[in-house]
Homo-oligomer: A and B are copies of this chain.
Amino acid sequence: MARKTANRRVGITDVAQRAGVSLASVSRVMNGNFSVDPDIAARVRAAAAELNYHPNAVGRSLALGKTDTIGIVVPDLANPTFQGMLRGVSRAAAQDGYRVLIADSSEVSSEESILAGEARRRCDGVVLCAPRMNEAELEALLPSLQPLVLINRSTADTQTPSLVVDYGQGIQDLAAHLVELGHTRLVFLAGPERSAGNQARLQGLEKFRVDHPEVELTTLPAGSSFEAGHVSAVAVLATGATGVLAFNDLVAMGLLSGLHERGVDVPGDISVTGFDDIPFANYTTPPLTTAAVAINDIGEQAWHELRQLLGDGDPEPAHTTFQPELKRRGSTGRVKKPTLS
């Protein structure tokens, strides 16, 4: 390793030398270890200040066996949901002096496992949000990631806490809300097929169907983005439905935009619901009725679980379910005229 410009980096050795003490003493002083002569401590501190010494994190990590860093794997940093999660984790972890290493798998499931492994090797623990990874692969990966908390995936493994959102219940609440407003012809704009969240919504809707046999509910493949919602506008209109359950807020916003372009009034002609309650949902025109997911709380909670795991005890890992909360806003309204059938 070519030493650039003589000895550039100032280490603990330099401080020790300058203060005329041993390495050990410097280390003790730097770590606030008592039982060290005040005079020595002062000399060390002075030397450290003069040399502008800052302990090397890597050396420290090696000696201590911890990095004070956790990894978080998300499918897509462009998605507000994962951004919120990341933010929640990051802020909470920062409170405890931990930093966060991010890994964006770009929605490709093969990357998810690689990134998770790599992140784990660099960090003390991992928060894994991998909705696409298949069940078997996940189970196989679990042991090697060990201090780990799962988001929106469940596992039999008793070691790993998991935080899941009850998408099934949320979508039922939204559907029920529409029915309450008199809608009897609904359409669901589905998300990515392989997505665990989409599966959960579909199951919820299945349950809804048996509870409300009088409601006509069709499903249209869409996606999880603005564009997906935007291009779905025409298909939605073709169904003649008066209420739309979009996969998430992004799709709903895209749809809102598409409907607006076609002169369709929301909620006058059609009611639209989203999912997640991203910050923007409150500021669309009209404001979006949606199922609020406390995504920041989930991130925060994820950190707290992980912190438990990193600490000593193994206090039963929690398997927490978050209930979405229905937010009634302007994008849903009473059905104008009963559907002719």
Listed in ascending order, the chain A residues whose CB lies under 8 Å from chain B are: 1, 52, 54-59, 61-62, 64-65, 67, 69, 77-78, 83-84, 86-87, 90-91, 94, 99-104, 106, 117-119, 121-122, 144, 226, 230, 253-254, 256-257, 260, 279-280, 282-287
Which among B86, B144, B287 is the interface contact of A52 at CB below 8 angstroms? B144
Minimum distance in angstroms from A58 CB to a CB of chain B: 5
Which among B57, B101, B257 is the interface contact of A100 at CB below 8 angstroms? B101
Residue pair B69, A77 in contact (C-beta under 8 Å)? no
Given the complex of chains A and B, what is the CA–CA distance between A99 and B286 in angstroms? Answer: 40
> Which residues does chain B contribute within 8 Å of A86, judged by CB atoms?
77, 102
Minimum distance in angstroms from A66 CB to a CB of chain B: 9
A65-B1, A280-B253, A282-B226 as given contacts; A90 in contact with B117, CB under 8 Å: no
Residue pair B279, A69 in contact (C-beta under 8 Å)? no
Which among B78, B84, B100, B226 is the interface contact of A283 at CB below 8 angstroms? B226
Residue pair A121, B56 in contact (C-beta under 8 Å)? yes
Residue pair B283, A230 in contact (C-beta under 8 Å)? yes
Complex: chain B residue closest to A111, CB-CB: B94
- Residue of A87, A90, A254, A283 with highest tally of chain B CB at under 10 A: A283
Minimum distance in angstroms from A123 CB to a CB of chain B: 9
> Which residues does chain B contribute within 8 Å of A117, judged by CB atoms?
54
